Structure 1
Amino acid sequence: MRRILLAATVLATAALTVPLAAHDDEPAPARGVPVAVSVTPDQLLEPYYEALRQQVVMPVAGANPALSPSTTLTRIAFGSCNHQNAPQHMWAQIAAQNPQLFLMIGDNVYGDNGWDADAGLESLRASYALQASHPEFTGFRAKVPMMATWDDHDFGLNDAGGNFPFRRWAEDLFETFWASSDAVKARPGVYDSTITGPEGKRVQVILLDTRYFRSNLKRAPWSKERPPLGGYVPEYSLDATVLGEAQWAWLEQELAKPADVRIVVSSTQIITTAHQFEGWTNFPVERNRLFEALKGREASGLVLLSGDRHAGGVYTTQYKGETLWELTSSSLNLSFGSDNDRSTAREPDPARVGKFFSEENYGLVDIDWKAKKLTLTLKNNTSGNLAEQVYNW
């Protein structure tokens, strides 16, 4: 198995040039001269992965109740950045809030920790298996319907995008573990959407995939003094993408469907441009395209949710006369500290409302249908309120 795995890795990372027979009206290439062809690592590795599927146990998250399409949603919880090796205490806190739906929005496990560049992504598979062994998690999942998308650490590699050569196998692991819908399994990427509730109280949840198709990040020029807030700079190329054309077309179709409230989930932050870490700020043209798509949606209330940052906060911006609101929640159990004042001072941001909370947290979205009011709440690991934002749609 190890030899097969090594061979697959070499195939994926080798130059994709092979000798081919010429067309009838073209001279054949000289023997031994490589001819460039469009062969992707996904295609090269598919026979290996097909064999691997027959040999390994694919971890599963466990039983999960289906969300009835007729349910009138009034409370949705979400979170990100959950490490399989860390305590799983947050599940009890979230369950006590009685959410009707929970959204796992990225870095749901840290599968790239200990990865040795093998094409089989053994560390990712092991991380899922460990997460599935936690009774706190499986007990929560057995009671609360869940939907999921991924971020980099459960995609397979820190800050990775569409050039990650093993993304297809990472997708198989993700879709098997989270029991993805048939629609998700039928297409590349893990983006998904549902509409729940009766007419007049329909909630659409749109989970974007900001990894599978994303163009390469543009790194900041080297300097002796590294930037304190990340090492990337905006990529203004019109060819650069976050979602890929197929997902963009799908998103526009989803936004045209009738809904009363839409919850749009991105694993990375959307509104803020105050840092040089990962986020839509890396792709300004795409960020504007997203704002345009949201502006052109069929009339509805709107909530933006994001994670990734190991800190949380509330963000707002104006776009063509509409006020957009975003709640970032991160992380569930991998906090980088609890000094919220220090985190706030380190990252000044005119788009953020209030502090930047670096302690463990999760998010809630409450819907008051009678008042047409949305409440975004960020809670800590004892379910105390860190931040709250109320607005009408």
Structure 2
Amino acid sequence: MRFSLLAATAVVTTVLAPFAAAPIMAHDDEPAQVKSAPVAVSLTPDQLLAPYYEALAQQVDMPVAGPNPALAAGTTLTRIAVGSCNHQNAPQHMWAQIASANPQLFLMIGDNVYGDNGWDADAGLESLRSAYAMQASHREFTDFRARVPMMATWDDHDYGLNDAGGNFPMRRWGETLFETFWGSSDAVRSRPGVYESSITGPEGRRVQVILLDTRFFRSDLKRAEWSRERPPLGGYVPNESLDATMLGDTQWQWLEQELAKPADLRIVVSSTQVITTAHQFEGWTNMPVERNRLLETLRQREASGMVILSGDRHAAGIYKTAHRGETMWELTSSSLNLAFGNDIERSTAREPDAARITPFFPIENYGLVDIDWKAKALTMTLKGNTSDTLASQTFNW
């Protein structure tokens, strides 16, 4: 069953046509002197497509990732693994490598499949649905998922379209596919977007994992003007507008509330990079006002340790910055099976960055976060596709 946005518009317009000239009634329920008046009907793409998606959900097979054990609320977390950028058609060898590290939790933080590859603008996002089905067919993945608790958020390629944000017309169906595949919690399913938070562990060893949604509500990016001399590090320029948003008002309020909850360590996940301003690909650097708001919001959290995790870049590194007296750390892990090369020296030199304290690794990788509760120390480690250590950094909180 295929449907275009134009067709959806025509259907809804037809359905609402009888109401467009409805009589205006007086207080006594009798027609007033003015028998009728035009009613302006302005529907969003979400509203236009809702009937179609409701029907579509009953007619197509909805891929699911398979069984996944729940993480017990009382678990003392000491090792969390993280990864991003996993192509459904590429080898799935990294799951065995991650499993060998024995993580208690795995965070899938975006581009979990590449569902926009081959998309032909159909409203049903058939290429995304097919990508999830392909991923679910991999025994390596389902075996891993059956053993290790997982939490997930999305980035653009599993949202539905490269670099897309809140104006993507098919975002609601992309959300339905995501929530169905990953078995999202009732809290996530009850609201727009896929942001989520959990707190695990006993008092004194509580870990809060906050998964942000940097897609569903995000304003359009500001593109750089075309130029023959365009710099090679991205096609966007910073948008300084006070109206531009990364998270949307509701998610911002939610984040502030989550950060006010008691926790001893917070893992804050953004699919795109936060700290770096060294490039103009996608990232919080696209919206400097929002980036500063995020850093300030994180700084004002209820007292706890904190680390930021990100992906997206098809290269990995560890970042450090100071914001109003607080040192903040970020581990970027990308990608699991879609590396762009193996020349670490060239990748590092291509993107000089004072905030990055490691080389920029363009090879397959995953990340580990190890927690030493006695020392109140956190170690971030980047691992290659044979679990060799690429880089490691420890800090105390």
TM norm structure 2:
0.94
**180, 187, 193: which is aligned to 2:184?**
180
Partners of 1:133 and 1:298 in 2: how far apart?
42
User: Which of 80, 101, 104 pairs up with 1:100?
Assistant: 104
Partner of 1:221: 225
Residue 310 of structure 2 is matched in structure 1 by 306
Aligned to 2:8: 11
Q: Does residue 369 of structure 1 match 2:373?
A: yes
Q: Does 1:324 align with 2:328?
A: yes
Partner of 1:111: 115
Partner of 1:219, secondary structure, is: coil
Cα offset for 1:14?
11
**Mapping 1:1-393, distance limit 5 Å:** 1-2=1-2, 5-6=3-4, 8-11=5-8, 20-21=20-21, 24=24, 37-393=41-397
Q: Distance in 1 between matches of 2:282 and 2:132?
A: 24
Q: How many residues align?
A: 386
Distance 1:322 1:22, change over 3 A: farther
Q: AA paired with 2:171?
A: R
Shift of 1:172: 0.3
Aligned counterparts of 1:13 and 1:288: Cα–Cα separation in 2: 43
The one-letter code of the counterpart of 1:144 is V
SS in 1 for 2:363: coil
Partner secondary structure for residue 319 of structure 2: strand
Distance 1:391 1:152 in 2: 31
Q: Distance in 2 between matches of 1:40 and 1:28?
A: 25
Q: Deviations over 1:324-380 (max 9, x none)?
A: 000000000000001010000000001100210000000000000000000000111
SS at match of 1:270: coil
Question: Structure 2: which amino acid aligns with 1:367?
Answer: I
Mapped to 2, the partners of 1:255 and 1:10 lie a distance apart of 44
Question: Structure 1, unaligned stretches of length 5 or more?
Answer: none
Give the structure with the higher percent strand: 1
Letter in 1 for 2:214: T
Contact in 1 for aligned 2:276/2:285 (Cα 8 Å): yes
Q: What whole-Å deviation, never above 9, does each CA across 1:100-143 have from its counterpart, x for those lacking one?
A: 00000000000000101000000000000000000000000000
Distance (Å, rounded) in 2 between the aligned partners of 1:259 and 1:373: 15
- Quick one: structure 1 residues 237 and 22, their matched pair in 2 at CA, closer, same or farther if it must change by over 3 Å? farther
Task: Provide the rounded CA distance (Å) in 2 between the counterparts of 1:346 and 1:276.
Answer: 13
Unpaired runs of 5+ residues, structure 2, are: 25-31
Moved over 6 A (4+): 13-19
Contact persistence 2:348–2:360 (CA under 8 A):
yes
Identity over aligned residues, as a percent? 76
Q: TM-score, normalised by structure 1?
A: 0.95
Structure exhibiting the larger radius of gyration computed from Cα positions: 2
